[in-house]
Amino acid sequence: MGCMIVEYLQQLNEQQRQAATTTEGYIRVVAGAGSGKTGTLTARYLYLVEALGISTANILCVTFTNKAAGEMKKRIRSLIPDQDLGRITTFHGFCVGLLKEDCHVVRYPSTFIVLDEEDKEAMLRTVFQDLQITSREMTIKEAVDHIGWRKGGRGYVKTLIGDPEQLLRLSREATTLKDKVLYRYFYEQRKCYGLDFDDLLYFALYILRQDPSVREKWQRRLEYIMVDEFQDIDKDQYALAEILSGYHKNLFVVGDPDQTIYTWRGADVKFILEFDARHEQAKTIYLNTNYRSRPQILTAANALIDKNRNRLKKKLEAVREDDRKPLYFHAKTGQLEADWITANMRALHEAGVSYAAMGVLYRAHYVSRAVEESLIKNKIPYVLYSGVEFYKRKEIKDILCYLRMIYCGDDISFLRTVNEPRRGVGRTRIAALKEYAQLNQCSLYQALAANLETELFRRSRARDYVRLIEKYRAIFDGMDLTDLLAGVLSESGYEDMLRSSGEEERLDNLAELKQAIYDFERKAGEEVTLGNYLDHAALFTNMDQTDRKEAAKLMTIHAAKGLEFPVVFLCGMSEGIFPGKRANTREKLEEERRLCYVAFTRAKDRLFLSDAAGSNYDGSFRSPSRFLFNAEKENVDYAVPLDPELEERTRERIQRTEAQEWAGEGTDDALGKRVRHPIFGEGSVIGVPRDQSGVIVQFDAVATPRTFGPGAQLEWLT
């Protein structure tokens, strides 16, 4: 064994070294947060190459992001610079390589094109134009979603690789507009031999399954396969790993089932949980030593995640010295919560902690609004990741521009709102308005009002827009701003547009705007006017963003996966926010708890937790998150004592929704069981309500689920 690999292995702890040097067979490494997973993977790769002499061409190491693959390549290249590391890649990157070599199986040339999202949309615009589809009939987004859903059925590959003329025929004969677009899109793809992101994995699997010689070639070639972040794989990625490891049977997987937070995009935790059951003589190695966080943070995190039942039992052990427990603050209002966060940030900064060392995490983007306002007010620099700053989000800008139209009617606001939602005022009509406005020295809105009866505008819905603006111009001075906003959202059709397209996050953002305006009214008192509020909002939309090097980082917990911060502020920890209101089954609630665990374990030195009293947007009372109590009171310091009645009420809710039994059936046992109802017939139990004992049942003959309390006339069949 070379000196370099011996030296590298000596840097590992006993469990890491065991994982790096156990090379043969099916191996599962359960790697807790901050346990040195990347270093262990790197060591194993080096061990295979340097100690065993395996060629890098015969090792496949796949992970989920190009960033993670690049980081591993960088580490390995610093130690063995002359090796080809092309098989350290993502699943989709590997599939591109396989297809370049073997797409002849499906009669595609090796020069096939990989289509990005812009290419897909451009292709669909061509399809819409050729089929004369208007945006009223279907949007590009709707087409993309439908195509993705149909491709999810996997059986489409055989159709797509067929005769192009057959695809045109299928498009002409389709009975729905969506399928007309689907087959015409297939035709455009086939014509240029284009493969979009979905196709790469499905085509690779199709070829491996259809051609035994190609399958055996790749199986023999890939002597060792390593899969990172195995808790996040979906059934197709799992199938690919199983097929490729079918000859040598050397499959090494690394992951943490406690960090499975992507089930909404197909990840299935059972693949890592059941790995040993699916593979005879599989070995399991636990990496439980955490090098990232202080012991008190890990104690709270361990207590929290231990409340999940569907997991592999493990406990992270800290190597760092003691410091302080996580600090929790229950605020009276959302603004006070935000001000508490910024006050602590400023105090830490004055004590020598860089703002860049601080991360503010939350469950959903709309939670950032109050924190952003407080940061700006206190002149604390920040960067918002994987999202748009609150006042720059499209729906917020749209509605602020509606309010500006009522207040002053500027051309910028007009162009943003006149066709949002669509009213048939497209490019041709806008061009005519611009020409009229220039000739008559008036605003675009005045030009529209003057031309409503002309032939060009009579068939549009422009009259509805003018009627809305004129109505509220006449009365806004005497209205509360919250009432004005509610009226505009409803009568413009904007809220209905988002609701009908399922834009839940955008609706949450609008609800947060309502809260922002309510807060402004309450503080401004008699001075509150529409003009004052628009000036107030403009301060946030036009804030100076030039110096961001020394900046705190704001992001959702999902975006923070894989990152770490010396200081973490986890805000919005209220029932209905985190866990979210849609976490109405044990399975969904356990995923929310895993997400909270991920948030806790991002913190290295300090962890701050906070929530605010008040009401949720559905009118329900806002109480502290059950996750605060799941972490156990003795593991968390309270900045202010919780009201005993509030604490008791919250704990009762936790007990009612997490430890309940119904009709002698344990919650876990009830899920999936068959029942019979005297009216609805037979169905399956799909969940347990959050706020009452009982079960949620999906009946075979009823389109939507029904919720039953104790004593309901349900007969258990299985």
Q: Which residues are catalytic?
A: 37-38, 228-229, 259, 602
Q: Which two tokens stand for residue 466?
A: 């003018």
Strands 317-318 and 289-290: parallel
Helix, coil or strand: residue 509 = helix
| Contact criterion met (CB below 8 Å) for 288 and 249 | no
The H or E element that residue 488 is part of is: helix 481-491
| Rounded distance between C-alpha atoms, residue 657 and residue 378, angstroms | 40
Would you say the C-alpha torsion 358, 364, 366, 367 has a positive or negative sign?
Answer: negative
Query: DSSP E strands: which ranges in 327-428?
Result: 327-331, 358-362, 382-384
The Cα angle at residue 368 between residues 643 and 539, in degrees rounded to 5: 120
Q: Which residues contact 139 (CB under 8 A, 6 or more apart)?
A: none
In this structure, is the dihedral angle defined by the CA atoms of residues 622, 628, 632 and 634, taken in order, positive or negative? negative
**Nearest partner of 9 among 34, 59, 35, 46, judged by Cα:** 46
- Taking CA atoms, 501 is separated from 139, 496, 497, in Å, by 10, 9, 6
Reported as type and span, the H/E element at residue 224 is strand 224-227
From CA 692, how far away is CA 606, in angstroms rounded?
36
Copy the structure tokens of residue 348. 């830490």
Cβ-based neighbour number of residue 108 at 10 Å: 20
Other Cβ atoms within 10 Å of 19 Cβ, number? 28
Question: What's the rounded Cα separation, in Å, for the pair 564 and 637?
Answer: 22
Residue type, 49: V
Query: Which residues, at least 6 apart from 641, have a Cβ–Cβ distance to it below 8 Å?
Result: none
| Residue 488, C-beta contacts closer than 8 angstroms, at least 6 positions apart | 399, 402, 403, 406, 468, 472, 494
Q: What region, left, alpha or beta, does residue 62 occupy, with left being phi > 0 and alpha being psi -120 to 50 degrees?
A: beta
Nearest-5° Cα angle at 503, 367 to 611: 15
| β-sheet bridge partners, residue 327 | 608, 637
